[in-house]
């Protein structure tokens, strides 16, 4: 089992010194990866389904991953997740390729559709197009990263006669990990992703998602070049060796852990990292 740490760009931790300390602890304590969260804007006043208060700090994913690339040397750096329908795929492909270069090939590209209508309204993006836009943008970025002469003609993206240099360090490109816990997300992961990511899941919910991915695989053709689909989960509830084994038995390959509030913000996060590493024998 691989272990990640979620949310180093969020809340009271979203300042340079805290991020440096947290990422240092993640790397020192044997974690495999560190992940950002993403909401470009927050709804004010907060209303469902928005998960964050209007004054909750959240650094931009691209900026945070760039900072993390310079603050670390070993761990993988994941976006958990980029709301891809809200992004320009050409600009984002450039930004992510640059992060892969700066991190020397340690980037994991987590993407998803998003679920808060007000965020899309603020950006002038039709909410009901978000799934189709994500499919389009993934293929546009893949073309920019892999083709000698990049060309793409999709519903929302179209280009040719251009080059994006430098490209990613990883070959053919950084892993694309699809987030979301719905049948369309499962199908998207099978069709487009190197992996799938489920957030805040109990063992029971994770089992349902694994079953959903299996059902999607029976009805959706998976391109041969994508290889096996990896499964990542941010688990809900306390974590011990027995629970880890139960997730592993489901086919989960990575647990991306979300710390609970305890003590001061930075001290709490570092304590969580150190205690988790000790209890699970990571270091």
User: What per-residue confidence (pLDDT) applies to 263?
Assistant: 58
CA distances from 280 to 3, 29, 274 (A): 10, 11, 10
The overall average pLDDT reported for the chain is 96
Tell me the percentage of the chain whose pLDDT exceeds 70: 99
**Which of 78, 99, 46 lies closest to 195 in space, CA to CA?**
78
3-state secondary structure of 82: strand
Q: Which burial class, exposed, middle or buried, applies to 271 when counting CB atoms under 10 A from its CB (0-12, 13-18, 19+)? A: middle
Count of CA atoms in the C-beta half-sphere (13 A) of 59? 21
3-state secondary structure of 214: helix
Dist CA 23 CA 246 (whole Å): 27
User: What per-residue confidence (pLDDT) applies to 260?
Assistant: 76
pTM over 0.75: yes
Q: At 111, which CATH number?
A: 3.20.20.30
DSSP string, 21-58: HHHHHHHHTT-SEEEE---SS--SS--TT--S-TT--B
- Mean pLDDT on 27-31: 98
Range of the domain at 208: 2-279
- Mean pLDDT on 149-171: 98
257 beta partners:
5
> Do residues 197 and 178 touch, judged by C-beta distance below 8 A?
yes
Dist CA 215 CA 160 (whole Å): 37
- Residue 241: pLDDT over 60: yes
Dist CA 46 CA 52 (whole Å): 7
Element counts in the chain: helices (H) and strands (E): 9, 11
Dist CA 253 CA 242 (whole Å): 15
- Residue 262: pLDDT over 60: no
- Mean pLDDT on 131-154: 98
Cα of 221 vs its chain's centroid, Å: 23
Number of structural domains the chain divides into: 1
């Amino acid at each position: 089992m691989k272990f990640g740490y979620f949310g180093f760009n969020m809340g009271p931790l979203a300042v340079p010194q805290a991020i440096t300390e947290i990422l240092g602890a993640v790397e020192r304590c044997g974690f495999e990866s560190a992940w950002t969260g993403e909401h470009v804007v927050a709804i004010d006043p907060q209303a469902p389904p928005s998960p964050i208060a209007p004054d909750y700090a959240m650094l931009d994913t691209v900026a945070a991953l760039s900072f993390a690339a310079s603050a670390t040397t070993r761990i993988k750096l994941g976006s958990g997740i980029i709301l891809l329908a809200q992004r320009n795929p050409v600009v984002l492909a450039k930004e992510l390729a640059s992060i892969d270069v700066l991190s020397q090939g340690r980037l994991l590209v987590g993407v998803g559709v998003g679920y808060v209508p007000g965020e899309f309204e603020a950006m002038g993006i039709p909410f009901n197009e978000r799934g189709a836009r994500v499919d389009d943008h993934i293929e546009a970025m893949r073309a920019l990263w892999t083709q000698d002469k990049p060309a793409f003609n999709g519903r929302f993206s179209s280009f040719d006669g251009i080059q994006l240099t430098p490209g990613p360090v990883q070959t053919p490109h950084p892993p694309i990990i699809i987030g979301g816990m719905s049948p369309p997300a499962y199908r998207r992961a099978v069709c487009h992703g190197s992996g799938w990511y489920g957030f805040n899941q109990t063992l029971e919910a994770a089992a349902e998602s694994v079953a959903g991915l299996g059902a999607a695989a029976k009805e959706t053709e998976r391109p041969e070049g994508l290889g096996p689909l990896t499964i990542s989960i941010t688990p809900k509830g306390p974590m011990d060796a027995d629970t880890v084994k139960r997730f592993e038995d489901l086919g989960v390959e990575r647990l991306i852990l979300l710390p609970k509030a305890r003590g001061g913000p930075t001290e709490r996060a570092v304590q969580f990292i150190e205690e988790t590493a000790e209890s699970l024998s990571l270091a």
